[in-house]
Amino acid sequence: MKTIKICNKQVPTLNILMRNQPPQWIFLVLLLSSHLLVACSSVPGNYFQPREKESEIRAQIQDLSGKEGFVMLAIHFRKENYERSEMPLIAAKKRVTGSTMQFRFTGDFSPGEYGAVAFHDEDGNGELRTNQYGIPLEGFGFSRNPKLAGGKPKWEALVFSVQEPIHEETIRMMYATKGVSP
Amino acid sequence: MNNKALICMTAVLLFSCRATDVKSPESAHPSFSSDQTGEIIVDVMGMDEAKGQYMILLVAEDPSGETKFPGSGKNTVVALKVPARKGKTEVVFDEIPYGRYAIAVMHDINVNGKLDKLAPFLWPDEGFGFSNRSYPILPPSFEDAAITLDRPSLRCEIPISYFWRRYGYLPSLLLYGILAAL
């Protein structure tokens, strides 16, 4: 143990922490290990697995009001992902150009069951604006247009199965502020 | 070491950062002065395995002439998240009015919705690509990546570059070595 003189007193110090610095090589070790961790990053297990046949999903969004903002559509393939609103199969956002819009997706989708959620993002912030009671202030729609019983519809009410080469779905936009059409 | 490291890090930050807005609640869309619409076919050339998702962004030209790319959501026409396929993935944007556009593609392998980076201003660990065959060290400006849609159909090929996976983390080691030697 070395000692140095400070104010005429002998103060013991440790050689390694003389300049209050961690050893340089530790940064290299951290850098390399985090690089390795990221390099081994892999697709999570609950992401989409391609199905056997190729097919097309056409989603037509109707009853849009206003020409501002974006229509955001998400097609989910798994109940848990839909309930948590994460990791959809496809998420698409298109600028509104009329009262109906069409989205078409081709891929290895059949046979499979999917559910679609759409909303009309008028202010462009990427999120559905809700008031203090949780009622959305922007337009929203679901596949198979289920009757809303309070809250997000259940997966079983939305799910449609894709078997044919082309599957068409119609989604009617509902606006809580402008009167909900039956 | 501390002072010089700070100076070097700020130099790296200044050199590698681009001024891009992140949030904008404006809903004014770019003026589409043309009535004719065409389609843009994007061929994304990625990895040999089907891993993760592509996040594709189509940005239109700002009517004022100064477009920020990728910029805030003000000039976005379409934003899309699709599962990646082996080799080439084809994405078609239809009913796009004539004009100038730029496309940015990010390959999100672990499907967490963002491009993973080791440190804020380094290159991403996952893949990225831009239109007009610009192979960037830095993200290109709108002018460098712009393609003009003046025909009914336009095909655009975008190779995805995996910077770290190609160069094997050597540049980051060199960078760190230089910083540590000071």
**B52 interaction partners in chain A (CB closer than 8 Å):** 43, 47
Tell me: the pLDDT tens digits for B53-94?
Answer: 999 999 998 888 788 888 777 888 999 999 998 889 999 998
CA distance to partner chain A, nearest, from residue B141 (Å): 22
CA distance to partner chain B, nearest, from residue A169 (Å): 19
Tell me: the pLDDT tens digits for A76-129?
Answer: 999 999 999 888 999 999 989 888 999 999 888 888 899 999 999 888 888 888
- In order along chain B (182 residues), what is the average pLDDT of each group of 10 residues? 57 41 36 74 90 92 82 85 90 90 91 80 83 79 90 92 72 70 69
A39 CB near a chain B CB, below 8 Å?
yes
Whose tokens are 């094997």? That residue is B168
B35 CB near a chain A CB, below 8 Å?
no
B119 CB near a chain A CB, below 8 Å?
no
Query: What is the predicted ipTM?
Result: 0.72
